[in-house]
Amino acid sequence: MSTTTAPTPTLAPANPRRLVDFVLRARTFGILGVLALFVLITTAIQPRFLHADNVRFILATTALYALVAVGETFVVITRNVDLSVGSVVGLSAYVSANMFQAHHGIPIPVVFLVGLGVGLACGLVTGIITAVGRVPSLVVTLAMLYIIRGVDTIIVGSGQVVANALPNSFINIFHDTLLGIPVLAIAAAVVVAIAAYYLRSFRSGRELYAIGSDPDAARLGGIPMGRRIFGAFVLSGALAGLGGVLWATQYNTIDATAATGLELQVIAAVVVGGVAIFGGSGSVVGAALGALLLQTISSALNVLGVPSLWTEAISGFLLLVAITLDRGIQLRLAAALRRRRVHLGA
């Protein structure tokens, strides 16, 4: 019986389990590595970059994107996509901020709940149409992107919410810190942690991965696909709704165009963070890191004096690099796993 032992791939260990772990960790470290690189280079050129103020600003801004990215990750893991998050953030931002204008003295937590509620409602509708109608999510969420933005524009009319309509306590949320770290960042981190824990430690969380990994097998295996996918969209909507309130604390002046195009930035963050666009794998921690990376780059470019016009181009370029790298890793992994089995009949 001849067995040709294949040359083990030089970088990764031959054991497939450790290979996979290695790859996953390499991915996360990869993001952190690029992050570190950017920070180092930028700081070297412009030390102002690492000033406490700037770091706090980056963290506070990231909070919003990380939050929405968590919801988007849940959806993408199931092999779907939610293109409506930008519109949801915009609508929620206006509605919640407008609460201050319409009802003086309204407590801030209530406003947060209102934002959450708006997002929840949007997510419910999207979820029902996708899960019960078995309609491709690309189409549904594209339509919802339009519809929600349209509703937003109708509600807003030509008006807007101006900064001085908002109470200072609300506006300060963006700048509030706890032990030097922005509260928004801490809150987002908490949400990420809870989501990560849920995805890892609960059956329904694992089922989301199963659905994205092989939808037919999931259906055959009796996994309640409709329910799970519905839940993912509701969560995505809810988190986007919360994100809207965060938007309001940051930008203060909100009109009908708020958060236009945000969905693309969120998807970019998610993909850069290692979540496969075809579902089945990836982590919310990765997505949050992806969001952090993109915001850091944006800030770095700003600090370096690069016109903000370039941010978009660079972010797009990074997305392409990220998915190309992922594909390369994927192919190498598959080849390594195959070579392991080269001795036939084992």
Partner 1 sequence: MEPERRTLKMRIAPLIRWESGLAIALVAVLILGNSISSQFFSSYNIFTLCTNIGDLALLALPMTLIIITGEIDLSVASVLAVSAETLGALWMHHWPMALIFVVCLAIGATAGLINGLLITRVGLPSLAVTIGTLTLYRGLANVILGASTVSNFPAPFNMLGVSGFLGVPWLSWSVAIFVVCAVIAGVVMRMTPFGRSLYAIGLSQEAAFHAGIRVKRTKLVLFVLSGLVAAAVGMLYAFELSSAGENIGIGFELQVVTIVLLGGVSIFGGKGTILGVALAAFVYAGLRSALLLTSSFNENDFQVVSGGLLILSVLIPNAASFVERARALMRRGQIRDRRKLLTLADAEVLDRE
Partner 2 sequence: MREALQLMSSTSSPPGDTGAQPGRTQAEPRSTPILSLRDGTKAFAGVRALEDVSLELYGGEAHALVGENGAGKSTLVKILGGVHQPDSGSLVIGGQEVVLGGTADARAAGIAVIYQEPTLFPDLSVAENVFIGRQPLRSARRIDYRAMDREVAQIFERLGVKLDPDRIARGLSIAEQQLVEIAKALSSEAKVLIMDEPTAALSPVEVERLFKIAETLRAEGAAVLFISHRLEEVFALCQRVTVLRDGKRVLSRQLEGLTADELVRAMVGRELQARRHEPHQPAGTVLEVDRLTREGVFVDISFQVRAGEVVALAGLVGAGRSEVARAIFGIDRYDAGAVRVGGQPLRRGSPTAAMSAGIGFVPEDRRQQGLVMELSTEENIALASLRRLRRHGLLFASTERAFALNWAQQLQVKFTRLSNRVSSLSGGNQQKVVLAKWLSRQPRLLIVDEPTRGIDVGTKAEVHRLLSSLATEGVAVLVISSELPEVLSVADRILVMREGRLVATLKHDEASEERIIAAGTGQSAVVDRLEEPSP
Residues that bind partner 1 (CB under 8 A): 81, 129, 132-136, 138-140, 142-147, 149-151, 153-154, 219-220, 226, 256, 264, 267-268, 271, 277-278, 307, 309-317, 319-320, 323-324, 327, 331
Quick one: DSSP state of residue 54?
Answer: H
Region for residue 103 given its phi and psi (left: phi exceeds 0; alpha: psi -120 to 50; beta: otherwise): beta
Name which of residues 208 to 267 contact partner 2 (CB under 8 A). Answer: 209-210, 212-214, 216-218, 220-223
Q: Choose among partner 1, partner 2, none what residue 29 binds, the Cβ cut-off being 5 to 8 Å by kind.
A: none
Q: Does 203 bind partner 2 (CB under 8 A)?
A: yes
Q: Between 146 and 202, whose beta carbon lies closer to partner 2?
A: 202
Q: How far apart are CA 198 and CA 194, in angstroms?
A: 6
Taking CB under 8 A as the criterion, the residue among 11, 13, 15, 257 binding partner 2 is: 15
Q: How far apart are CA 152 and CA 293, in angstroms?
A: 30
Q: Choose among partner 1, partner 2, none what residue 311 binds, the Cβ cut-off being 5 to 8 Å by kind.
A: partner 1
**Min separation Cβ 316 and partner 1, Å:** 3
Quick one: DSSP state of residue 254?
Answer: B
Taking CB under 8 A as the criterion, the residue among 10, 17, 180, 313 binding partner 2 is: 17
Dihedral Cα 237, 242, 245, 249, nearest 10 deg:
-130
Q: Choose among partner 1, partner 2, none what residue 323 binds, the Cβ cut-off being 5 to 8 Å by kind.
A: partner 1
Contact 290, 69 (CB under 8 A): yes
Q: How far apart are CA 331 and CA 323, in angstroms?
A: 12
Q: CA nearest 265: which of 325, 321, 319, 226?
A: 319
**Min separation Cβ 219 and partner 1, Å:** 6
Q: Does 332 bind partner 2 (CB under 8 A)?
A: no
Q: CA nearest 268: which of 86, 103, 108, 43?
A: 86
Q: Choose among partner 1, partner 2, none what residue 222 binds, the Cβ cut-off being 5 to 8 Å by kind.
A: partner 2
The CB-side HSE value for 72 (13 A sphere, CA atoms) comes to 40
Name which of residues 271 to 300 contact partner 2 (CB under 8 A). Answer: 276, 280-281
Q: Choose among partner 1, partner 2, none what residue 271 binds, the Cβ cut-off being 5 to 8 Å by kind.
A: partner 1
Q: Does 334 bind partner 2 (CB under 8 A)?
A: yes
Contact 129, 140 (CB under 8 A): yes
Q: How far apart are CA 324 and CA 337, in angstroms?
A: 20
Q: CA nearest 271: which of 234, 320, 217, 218?
A: 320
User: Binders of partner 2: how many residues, by CB under 8 A?
Assistant: 39
**Min separation Cβ 81 and partner 2, Å:** 17
Q: Supply 259's token pair.
A: 């958060």
In order of 6, 21, 177, 346, the CA distances from 341 in angstroms are 9, 19, 54, 8
**Min separation Cβ 7 and partner 2, Å:** 10
Q: Choose among partner 1, partner 2, none what residue 136 binds, the Cβ cut-off being 5 to 8 Å by kind.
A: partner 1
177 bridge partner residues:
182
Applying CB under 8 A, the residues found at the interface with partner 2 are 1-2, 4, 6, 15-17, 20, 200-203, 206-207, 209-210, 212-214, 216-218, 220-223, 276, 280-281, 334, 337-342, 344-346
